Structure 1
Amino acid sequence: MNSIITGWLFLRTVVFYLGYIALTGWFTITGLLFFSYLPLSIRGPYLITWNKWILVWLRLSCGVRYNIVGNIPDGHYVVMSKHQSQWETFYLQYAFFPVGVVLKRELLNMPFFGWALRLMEPIAIDRSNPNAALRYIQEEGVKRLQQGKRVLIFPEGTRTPPGQKGTYARSGANIAISAGAPVVPVAHNAGECWPARKFIKSPGLVTVIIGEPIPSTDTNSRELTSTVSHWIESQMLSISQAPTPPASENGPQPV
């Protein structure tokens, strides 16, 4: 019975990726041909539709639904989110647009997917040079906020398996404090349906909890990061079905 279920999930995932490739190819080619020379304020609303349709197709092909708890605030701020999956990169860019996403530069070189990302003007960093990456995140992040945009950063730096916690970097808090902008924390359990580094997608409900803005005034980056980390991880206990392993000091070291 388990092999039958696994085979069925595998087939549904194949169908999803066929649609994924088609949608990505369509939006990348049309974006490059017709929108690449236009400002982000014009091309962005078209390109972000790609994210929406990926999520719709994921629901239709693999049965992955989602429920949002909380509201998306107006204004500009730093979004600091749990990172388990590729799912949240699609949803959060769509939900918080216009937003500059902090990501590793190598992603921009991927055919079609990376080209589409490049059109969205992310904050792409070279993780082989941490000091330069930190400076660039800080400068570009503050610049985006001053332009009235939002900044999306995954403080754990890399995707962590459900039930686990990575080391929260302070770069997001530093940006918020420098720009005088609040932080909006986001918790979710997307890794339970779209696990990192695994092919098969499992049907289920992704719960996304959007917190109230946390002021960055009268605090420092260590305290602000700790506040965000505590909020996110406490929410994870209520929405995650994965067992939580014993606490460990050895986690990924994000920028």
Structure 2
Amino acid sequence: MALIRSVIHLLWMGITVVPYALAIMLGTLLGVRGVPLYRIARAWLSLCISGARVVLGIRAEVSGMENLPQGANEGAILLVKHQSTYETFLMPVIMPHPLAYVFKKELLHVPFFGWAIGRLDMIHIDRNQRTQAFNKVVQQGKDLLAKGIWIIMFPEGTRIERGQKGNYKTGGTRLAIDTGAPVIPIAVTSAKVWPRKAFIKRPGVVDVSIGKPISSVGRQPDELMREVEAWIEAEMRRLDPDAYPAPAANTASNTTAHSGK
């Protein structure tokens, strides 16, 4: 049954993406730019998330929405735990501001999906040219934040297996420091039901926990990212304790106890 449901949901996404992508491309031909096109993309993502709930039995429980900046002109850099495609689709659906993803340019070649996102206010980079790529992120990031668009990044860079931790890269905190925007750490347990690179999905709940804003003013990229990493990984253990091994017993204490000292 899980296989059949997964096939149906994949077909649902594949069929529905076509008219929405065409609407975005037609909009650009007619001179439409910015938020109106984003709303079209967001509507399709909402269909995908609704389809996941109805067909796959996957639903999200979100906590910490009150931690998001409330002002219409307040910027933010969202740094999100990345376990599956689910949170990529979910974040624009639940966030009160338009989002701009930082993504590798290869995605632009994906039929319909890539063609559409290439026409949105997103930041696509060439990972083979790191310096130029980051300069582009900073420049476009400043412009987008000034428009009230939040930047979203996955600091581990790729989807990570359940219970594992990737290498947290400092691109997001460097951008935050350069723009003065706060960072918002977000923990997501999507791999419980939608594992990395898995075709078959399982019904269940994805917990999304939004942390309090962390100021980037006067910070260093490395130590700011260490704070983000510590919060996210601690929150992941709280939300999904079954995925993480129990802490090892204190070796020194055990040795003392066995020696009778």
Greater displacement, 24-33 / 91-100: 91-100
Letter in 1 for 2:108: L
* Structure 1 residue 22 corresponds to structure 2 residue 15: yes
Change (3 A) 1:39 1:195: same
1:49-102 C-alpha deviation (Å, 9 max, x unpaired): 111110001111110111001114332110000011111111112333412101
Match of 1:4 in 2: none
Give aligned-pair identity as a percent. 33
Match of 1:157 in 2: 157
Conservation of the 8 A alpha-carbon contact between 1:155 and 1:172: yes
Conservation of the 8 A alpha-carbon contact between 1:142 and 1:176: no
* SS of residue in 2 equivalent to 1:225: helix
Give the C-alpha shift of residue 40 in structure 1.
1.0
Aligned equivalents of 2:237, 2:209: Cα separation in 1: 12
Aligned equivalents of 1:243, 1:69: Cα separation in 2: 20
Change (3 A) 1:246 1:145: farther
Give the C-alpha shift of residue 143 in structure 1.
2.7
Match of 1:184 in 2: 184
Letter in 1 for 2:69: P
* SS of residue in 2 equivalent to 1:56: helix
Aligned equivalents of 2:171, 2:186: Cα separation in 1: 16
Conservation of the 8 A alpha-carbon contact between 2:237 and 2:243: no
* SS of residue in 2 equivalent to 1:102: strand
Change (3 A) 1:155 1:232: same
Match of 1:124 in 2: 124
1:170-204 C-alpha deviation (Å, 9 max, x unpaired): 11111111111111111011122111211111111
Conservation of the 8 A alpha-carbon contact between 1:156 and 1:166: yes
Give the C-alpha shift of residue 139 in structure 1.
2.4
Match of 2:196 in 1: 196
The equivalent position to 2:6 in structure 1, one of 13, 36, 44, is 13
Match of 1:32 in 2: 25
Aligned equivalents of 2:119, 2:90: Cα separation in 1: 17
Match of 1:218 in 2: 218
> Over alpha carbons, which structure has the higher Rg?
2
Normalising by structure 1, we get a TM-score of 0.88
Give the C-alpha shift of residue 236 in structure 1.
0.1
Aligned equivalents of 2:42, 2:194: Cα separation in 1: 20
Aligned equivalents of 2:246, 2:169: Cα separation in 1: 21
Match of 2:257 in 1: none
Letter in 1 for 2:81: K
Match of 2:46 in 1: 52
Aligned equivalents of 2:178, 2:27: Cα separation in 1: 37
Aligned CA-pair RMSD: 1.8
Aligned equivalents of 2:149, 2:243: Cα separation in 1: 37
| Structure 1 residues not aligned, in runs of 5+ | 1-7, 248-255
Aligned equivalents of 1:224, 1:165: Cα separation in 2: 17
Letter in 2 for 1:201: K
Conservation of the 8 A alpha-carbon contact between 2:83 and 2:159: yes
Letter in 1 for 2:83: Q
| Structure 2 residues not aligned, in runs of 5+ | 248-261
Match of 2:255 in 1: none
Query: How many pairs were matched up?
Result: 240
Moved over 3 A (4+): none
* SS of residue in 2 equivalent to 1:119: coil
Conservation of the 8 A alpha-carbon contact between 1:138 and 1:171: no
Greater displacement, 90-99 / 186-195: 90-99
Letter in 1 for 2:54: L
